[in-house]
Amino acid sequence: MPYFTDLAYQHIDGEWVPGTGSWDIIDFNPYNGEKLCSITVATRDEVDQAYRAAERHQPAWAATNPYTRRLVFERAIRLIEDREQELTEAIIAELGGTRLKAAFELHLAKEFLRESMQLALRAKGQIVPSPVDGKENRVYRLPVGVVGVISPFNFPFLLSLKSVAPALALGNAVVLKPHQNTPICGGSLVARILEDAGLPKGLLNVVITDIAEIGDALLEHPVPKVISFTGSDTVGRHVATVAASHFKHAVLELGGNSALIVLDDADVDYAVDAAVFSRFVHQGQVCMAANRVIVDRSVEKEFTEKFVAKIKTLKVGDPQDPQTHIGPLINSSQADRVTSVVQQSIDAGATVLLRGETNGSLVSPTVLTDLPADAPALRTEIFGPVALIIPVDGEDEAVRVANDTPYGLSGAVHTADVDRGVAVAHRIETGMIHINDSTVADEPIVPFGGEKQSGLGRLNGEHFVESFTTTKWIAIQHGRSGFPF
């Protein structure tokens, strides 16, 4: 594919240049193991070059009329529409996403670009009253300057754009580091689309590298004022620590262990459909995925039989095939980790309702129930096609079990009584929760983020403004102040 030959470079100060590190990142197709490209990693010096380029070009961009800035994102939407087939093929090849998943990712990417067009006009100042006679308080909303963005492998094109586009729309410059497993979809393709859409040079710089080469240079560098990170809570904790020690604001969108609750009055067939999608979309490699399906015992037997039967109809295999529901995990190491979590849970006493096979990066669905309280699968973000069914007696126990996790990202409650569902939802310690729907959802203007170890801060809508701008108070004294000495 041309993308994997033409874009296997760093993008610094408007130029596509090779890295000068001592080793290469090899980009593989996770389904068939085909080598897509190799990219020489960026060094600490190239990270510095990227940040310095962003710093140089940002003031002129911030001074650009916001109506002009928004045209870049309008053109980017048209480019994605024009290149949708090529982008789909890249997503399938690089991260093993199915065609359905690629369509979902590209649709949301366009929605967030549309929101970025509006954000360009949303950094509004205020005139604030003063108790001092003759004083005028002006509060300006200004870009922070330069934002560092670190994106994950599961929805790389979307989740890079989700921070990059709003930060740019609000007048900032950006340095983006994509995940090393998805350097093209998460990095180079984003840069190419925005470059072709007319984004001035140097405002978006992409460094493809790894902590083994640069250490914490991306976080410690003096230029960026905000670090936007999406990934695991383990890495997120480190990002937060380093950022805080250098007085940088960190926006962290981290992992989850979401629960989908099926109450005794739920529409069981519909709840089954929602649970299967919530657990197995993109092979379960979604932070909002329903790891745990908590089912009232009065409907447990019916739900479980229908849930397992539906899962057996899912096709596992080549993501190029439009009929495939479950493609490969991102690599064989992740497949081995998921398989290990399953085996540990079985060894601890879990009952197997469906046992999937592992073949390289392909992992077929597994369903477990009767897990002991200390089973590893209950406490971790599995990030694979493994569902856990947990029977409970009533909504109080459902709430207790749902909250028995260090995470708090998403969730869902299924019930015939919407008010009952809302009451239960209020009791779940999570940043987002859905009544009679999937646990997997994102919309450009609603607050996206989690509680507990699922992150810090929120993204989307006005929260982009809060995250990527700062305020400045300028007071004007009309007339003369009186001073006590």
Judge contact between 410 and 434, C-beta under 8 A.
yes
Could you give the angle at the alpha carbon of 450 between the alpha carbons of 423 and 175, nearest 5°? 155
When divided into structural domains, the chain yields a total of: 2
Judgement on whether residues 227 and 277 belong to the same structural domain of the protein:
no
In this structure, what CATH number is given to the domain that contains residue 312? 3.40.309.10
Helices in 123-267 by DSSP H: which ranges? 156-169, 189-196, 211-214, 217-220, 233-245
**Which of 209, 226, 94 is CA-nearest to residue 149?**
226
The confidence score (pLDDT) of residue 376 equals 83
The answer, yes or no, to whether residue 482 has pLDDT greater than 90, is no
Identify whether residues 298 and 351 lie together within a single domain.
yes
Q: Based on the domain organization, do 80 and 199 belong to the same domain? A: yes
Token pair 């902590």 in the structure block, residue: 211
Q: Is residue 480 part of a domain?
A: no
Q: Report the pLDDT averaged over residues 276-282.
A: 98
Q: Are residues 179 and 305 in the same domain?
A: no
Categorize the per-residue pLDDT at 383 as very low, low, confident or very high, splitting at 50, 70 and 90: very high
**Looking at the structure, do residues 246 and 266 belong to the same domain, yes or no?**
no
Both 67 and 127 in one domain: the answer is yes
Residue 145's closest CA among 231, 51, 208, 237? Answer: 51
Using pLDDT thresholds of 50, 70 and 90, give the confidence band for residue 1.
low
Task: Say if residue 236's pLDDT is above 70.
Answer: yes
* 185 is annotated as an active-site residue: no
Which one is catalytic: 253, 300, 381, 395? 253
Strand partners, 227: 148, 250
- Does any domain span residue 440? no
Helix H or strand E segment including 228: strand 226-230
CB 249 within 8 A of CB 240: no
Q: What pLDDT, on a 0 to 100 scale, did the predictor assign at position 466?
A: 97
Q: Which residue has the tokens 């299924």?
A: 414
In this structure, which amino acid lies at residue 343? Q
**Residue 67: its pLDDT value, please?**
97
One domain for residues 427 and 469: no
How far is it, in rounded angstroms, from Cα 314 to Cα 324? 8
Asked whether residue 18 is domain-assigned, the answer is yes
Specify whether 238 is located in the same domain as 363. Answer: no
CATH of residue 109: 3.40.605.10
Question: Once rounded to an integer, what is the mean pLDDT over residues 278-291?
Answer: 98
Query: Is residue 449 situated within a structural domain?
Result: no
Separation CA 343–CA 376 (nearest Å): 10
Mean pLDDT value across residues 152-157: 98
What span, in angstroms and rounded, lies between the C-alpha atoms of 483 and 61?
41
Are residues 173 and 46 part of one domain? yes
State phi, psi for 384 to the nearest 5 degrees.
-165, 175
* 408, part of any domain: yes
Find the mean pLDDT for residues 296-307.
98
In a domain, 282, yes or no: yes
Q: Which of 37, 55, 94, 287 is catalytic?
A: 287
**Residue 173 DSSP SS3:** strand
Buried b (16+ CB within 10 A) or exposed e, 296-334: beebbeebbebbbebbeeeebbbbeeeebbbbbbbbbeb
444 lies in a domain? no
- For the stretch 11-62, pLDDT in tens is 999 999 999 999 999 999 999 999 999 999 999 999 999 999 999 999 999 9
**Do 306 and 281 fall within a single domain?**
yes
Pair (285, 139) in one structural domain = no
Neighbours of 337 (CB within 10 A): 16
Domain containing 332 equals 258-435
Instruction: Tell me: do 343 and 212 sit in the same domain.
Output: no
Strand partners, 38: 26
Q: What's the pLDDT tens digit per position in 407-462?
A: 999 999 999 999 999 999 999 999 999 999 999 999 999 999 999 999 999 999 99
Reported residue count of the chain is 485
Q: Judge whether 287 counts as a catalytic residue.
A: yes
Instruction: Please tell me the pTM assigned to this model.
Output: 0.97
In a domain? residue 190: yes
pLDDT tens, residue by residue, 187-221: 999 999 999 999 999 999 999 999 999 999 999 99
Mean of the per-residue pLDDT values of the chain: 97
